[in-house]
């Protein structure tokens, strides 16, 4: 028997002006399931992720998390707090605050917590303990991505949405992220991410959903995902 769907999309479509970005996207994902969205640039991956996490409202169709409409008024009060988001750019950080100060501010005002020791543990986990007093504007792209991963670690999401999470990370950073994904999977978190790194997706994704011009054109299940990073995932 298949596990009950934690997240479901039914007939989701989105256009920007006369240009369709998503067309009739339908699928379900259970708790602890990891889905990777693959495809060329402009295939609709980022648009789909932004719809799932509630940052972009689709023109038609429904997106449900735990049977609740993501865009309902009740979801805004409760559900959105359960969604962890990592966008391509390290967004929503203050340029003149240090790594530690940015995480402390987020923990205090977004999560209602004020645990400096937890912030220091998170910074150590993502390899930024030596850079904790460095200002955000001084960080490299890879360090900014690590800080964004640290922000996710402060949350306890039930759904995790990440856009190109492996971008700008070195090999050590990639391993940190892979460990995080596995920990969240084991905790029952439903994970969605877009990536061109099919070699890494083959290690952690239960399904790779291939998008082309805003449509689902193929799906690869765990065990049938090519690990060589080739463009052709399925035969």
CA distances 19 to 13, 42, 172, 228, Å, are 11, 11, 39, 33
Within 10 angstroms of residue 140's Cβ, the number of other Cβ atoms is: 10
What's the pLDDT at 158? 94
pLDDT digits (tens, 9 = 90+) for 4-25: 789 999 999 999 999 999 999 9
What 8-state DSSP symbol labels residue 58?
Answer: -
- What are the φ and ψ backbone dihedral angles of 210, each rounded to 5 degrees? -95, 125
Q: What are all long-range contacts of 123-132, with beta carbons under 8 Å and residues at least 24 apart?
A: 123/99, 123/150, 125/150, 125/153, 125/176, 126/150, 126/153, 126/173, 126/176, 127/172, 127/173, 127/176, 128/99, 131/99, 132/98, 132/99, 132/100
pLDDT digits (tens, 9 = 90+) for 15-52: 999 999 999 999 999 999 999 999 999 999 999 999 99
Within 10 angstroms of residue 68's Cβ, the number of other Cβ atoms is: 13
Angle at 79 between CA 75 and CA 84, to 5 degrees: 135
Q: How far apart are CA 102 and CA 94, in angstroms?
A: 7
Rounded to two decimals, the pTM is 0.88
pLDDT less than 70: residues of the chain: 1-3, 90, 223-235
């Amino acid at each position: 028997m298949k596990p009950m769907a934690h997240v479901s999309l039914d007939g989701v479509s989105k256009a920007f002006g006369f240009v369709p970005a998503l067309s009739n996207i339908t699928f379900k994902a259970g708790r602890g399931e990891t889905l990777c969205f693959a495809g060329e640039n402009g295939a609709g991956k980022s648009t789909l992720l932004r719809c799932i996490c509630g940052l972009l409202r689709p023109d038609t169709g429904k997106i449900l998390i735990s049977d609740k409409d993501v865009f309902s008024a009740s979801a805004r009060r409760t559900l959105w707090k359960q969604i962890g988001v990592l966008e391509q750019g390290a967004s929503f950080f203050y340029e003149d605050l240090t790594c530690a100060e940015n995480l402390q501010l987020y923990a205090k005002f977004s999560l209602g917590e004020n645990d400096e020791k937890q912030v220091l543990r998170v910074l150590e986990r993502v390899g930024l303990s030596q850079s904790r007093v460095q200002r955000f504007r001084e960080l490299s792209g890879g360090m900014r991505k690590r800080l964004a991963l640290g922000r996710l670690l402060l949350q306890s999401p039930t759904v995790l949405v990440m856009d190109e999470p492996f971008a700008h990370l070195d090999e050590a950073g990639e391993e940190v992220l892979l460990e995080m994904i596995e920990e969240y999977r084991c905790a029952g978190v439903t994970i969605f991410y877009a990536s061109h790194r099919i070699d890494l997706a083959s290690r952690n994704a239960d399904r790779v959903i291939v998008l082309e011009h805003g449509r689902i054109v193929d799906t690869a299940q765990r065990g049938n995902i090519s690990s060589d990073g080739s463009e052709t995932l399925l035969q």
